[in-house]
Chain A
């Protein structure tokens, strides 16, 4: 189906005897915001790394933007944007220089980069900081710039690996506004997060545990299906296999 942008079938990655990802099968539709949830070590990162061509799957089928991950990783790379949780931007370059560099390696023309940068800076109200080095900016701004960089070349899909880690609630809200805006311009969003309130913002979410997808649907359907009140309870039910007392929840999660 043309509307499917990511499709995996029994996608598996084995490290030695350990199955990091086991027979993963799911579909992501064009233009949707797809939340990819799971506790640490559930296999999210491994799954993403296979989809963006950093890791070769052990077995199974996967295609991204219509291209096969085994045969056409280079074509996939043209179509995707990626924001990793570890690195976002070069700290010793300015905002503009980061845009110019990443635009450059995606093969955008100089004029395009210039006009798009100007447009972006105006939209985000970054006129004052456009020529500042990234290391001089607060974390919230960095993440916003990093997201802008990830979608700068107009990818079909952007993979966001815990994009809002360490960011305060207000900036997180603004960040999600940016995600919605990108989604409206028909960019598919594939996002992992630890903040379960953010899961509610997604069109559909999947919850992974021990290398397997345990649940996949839109947030309200899932809550109905598992008969829980909040995303938090759902996550605890699936990923932690038990309902924790309330006080422990507050210790473990932001909300």
Chain B
């Protein structure tokens, strides 16, 4: 016990004295949550548009007003000069232009139908799509109102309700993703590096000739990172609740328990990597390519898994982060209980035992060469 204790104290000192490591361990989660929470969102707010209204009649004005009142758009100019459009796009002044033709109201009122041209900047595909959708929605809304005034029998009014994330904010999607990324970073990469560093320095030899058992040594390496990742977990949750306004809908206890399961799984993966490698660079490379990249691309947090080729979909099942991402999302956003996420939990637990088994096997082989 005393031995374990001396060891853990030493590990903490290694960590606390390396400012770069500290920055990764505590700075990274904060920065990631804030960047993903605020900067990297798919939401569009106050997009600048110009309106060219050749009709300036009742209906066109009504529509322009609606667009103007919408928080997604900011009309920077009303003009009749369509020649400036391309210049404005080139200079990046506007994201969209909306053109109403002449006799807009007249054509509509006389059942001849009319058109509206929407021009968007498609260099950013997602953005252009969102703008198109928003403007179309506004137009449809106006149209419905017009028709409603005349004949109610001809209308179908969609009643849309966005469950769990009514404002369609980006943060709810990113926070669970960031959580799994930070856990991977701290538990897999930093742990693996910490153990491999002793091998690289040659201190492992000295430690192995001491009476400390190798298992004890690994436990003491892992404990500090377990503590730190738990602190990171709290940090991320606090940030998301108080800064990003993203409350935890489900049981906080369940969320923490599931996170601890994931943390332990990651620590075991970190140990496995450290047993099988002998240089810090290789350990880092394996952690980044083998764990981080799948976590970013195949966990569903950046790109929806349903849209991927079938082979990749199958492959994504092997990525622990995917299951953790689903669990966190279900608990945080939907308020799901254990009865809903038990399957995902079981998968992670199974992976944990598998990695544990492999680690033990490899460890024994390496020790008695």
Q: Which residues of A contact B (CB under 8 A)?
A: 52-56, 74, 77-78, 80, 82-84, 86-87, 90, 92-93, 97, 100-107, 109, 159
User: Which residues of B are found within 8 Å of A77, using beta-carbon distances?
Assistant: 209-211
Interface string of B191-204 (1 = CB under 8 A from A): 00000000001110
Additional A-B contact list (10), CB under 8 Å, known A87-B206, A93-B13: A52-B209, A84-B206, A86-B202, A87-B201, A92-B13, A93-B14, A97-B13, A101-B7, A105-B7, A105-B212
Which 7 interchain pairs have the tightest Cβ spacing? A104-B6, A86-B202, A87-B202, A82-B209, A87-B203, A52-B209, A77-B211
Which residues of chain B come closer than 8 Å to A54, judged between CB atoms?
205, 208-209
* Chain A nearest CB, measured from B221 CB (Å): 13
Question: What is the minimal beta-carbon distance from B111 to any residue of chain A, in angstroms?
Answer: 82
Residues of B within 8 A of A104 (CB): 2-3, 5-7, 9
**Which of A74, A93, A97, A159 is the one whose CB lies under 8 Å from B211?**
A74
Give the total of B residues in contact with A, Cβ under 8 Å: 25
Contacts A54-B208, A74-B211, A105-B211 known; A97 to B202 CB distance under 8 Å?
no
Question: Which residues of chain B in 3-51 are interfacial with respect to chain A, using CB atoms and an 8 Å cutoff?
Answer: 3, 5-7, 9-10, 13-14, 17-18
CB-CB under 8 A from A106, the residues of chain B are: 210-211
Question: Which chain A residues border B2 with CB–CB below 8 Å?
Answer: 104, 107, 109
User: How far, in Å, is B166 (CB) from chain A's closest CB?
Assistant: 51
Q: Provide the main secondary structure of the chain B interface.
A: helix
Contacts of A84 in B (CB 8 A): 202, 205-206
8 A Cβ contacts from B314-369 to A: 368-369
Contacts of A92 in B (CB 8 A): 13-14, 17-18
For the complex, what is the distance from the CA of A74 to the CA of B2, rounded to whole Å?
18
Chain A nearest Cβ from B276, distance in angstroms:
19
C-alpha gap A169/B299 in the complex (Å): 61
Interface-central residue, B5, B7, B205, by most chain A CB under 10 Å: B205
Known interface pairs A92-B18, A93-B10. Does A107 touch B3 (Cβ–Cβ under 8 Å)?
A: yes
Distance in Å from the Cβ of A190 to the closest Cβ of chain B? 12
Give Cα A103–Cα B18 distance, bound, in whole angstroms: 24
Q: Which B residues are in CB contact (< 8 Å) with A53? A: 208-209
Q: Is B219 an interface residue (CB 8 A)?
A: no
In the complex, which residue of chain A has the Cβ closest to the Cβ of B7? Answer: A105
Q: How far is the CB of B278 from chain A (nearest CB, A)?
A: 13
What's the least CB distance linking B200 to chain A, in Å? 10
A100 vs B3: C-alpha distance when bound (angstroms): 11
Bound CA–CA A54/B207 (angstroms): 10
A-B residue pairs in contact (CB < 8 Å), sample of 9:
A54-B205, A92-B17, A92-B18, A100-B6, A102-B210, A104-B3, A105-B207, A107-B2, A109-B2
Q: Is there contact, CB below 8 Å, between B3 and A105?
A: yes
Cβ A90 vs Cβ B5 within 8 A: no
Residue of B2, B6, B368 with highest tally of chain A CB at under 10 A: B6
With both chains docked as a complex, state the minimum distance between the C-beta of A53 and any C-beta of chain B, in angstroms: 7
Query: Do A90 and B203 touch across chains, with their CB atoms under 8 A apart?
Result: yes
A84 to B203, CA, bound (A): 8
CA distance A5 to B33 in the complex (A): 61
Bound CA span A103–B368, Å:
26
Please, which residue of chain B has its CB at the minimum distance from the CB of A15? B369
* Contact between B210 and A97, CB atoms less than 8 A apart: no
A159→B205 CA distance, assembly (Å): 12
For A133, give the chain B residue with the smallest CB separation. Answer: B17
CB distance from B293 to the nearest CB of A (A): 31
Q: Which positions 208-236 of chain B face chain A at CB distance < 8 Å? A: 208-213
> In the complex, what residues of B have CB within 8 A of residue A103's CB?
6
Chain B residues in 8 Å Cβ range of A159: 209
Tell me, in angstroms, the Cα distance from A105 to B203 when the chains sit together: 13
CA A143 to CA B206, docked complex, whole Å: 15
Partner of A101, one of B10, B202, B209, B368: B10
Q: Report B-chain residues with C-beta under 8 Å of the C-beta of A93.
A: 10, 13-14
Cα distance, A53 to B213, chains bound together (Å): 12
Tell me the minimal C-beta distance from B195 to chain A in angstroms: 14
The answer to whether B209 and A90 have CB atoms under 8 Å apart is no
Contacts of A80 in B (CB 8 A): 209
Tell me if B10 and A90 are in contact (CB < 8 A): yes
CA distance A7 to B205 in the complex (A): 22
B-chain residues with CB within 8 Å of residue A107 when the two chains form the complex: 2-3, 211
Chain A residues, CB < 8 A from B205 = 54, 82, 84, 86-87
Chain B minimum-CB-distance residue to A83:
B206
Compute how far the CA of A48 lies from the CA of B29 in the bound complex, rounded to whole angstroms: 46
Query: Quick one: which of A78, A83, A87, A97 contacts B10, CB cutoff 8 A?
Result: A97
Residues of B within 8 A of A56 (CB): 368-369
Docked Cα-Cα span, A53 to B369, in Å, equals 11
Residues of B271-295 contacting chain A, CB below 8 A: none
Complex alpha-carbon distance, A80 and B13, angstroms: 26
Nearest A residue to B18, CB-CB: A92
Find the B residue at minimum CB distance from A150: B206
Q: A85 CA to B246 CA in the complex, in Å? A: 55
Question: Which residues of the partner chain A approach B7 to less than 8 Å between Cβ atoms?
Answer: 101, 104-105
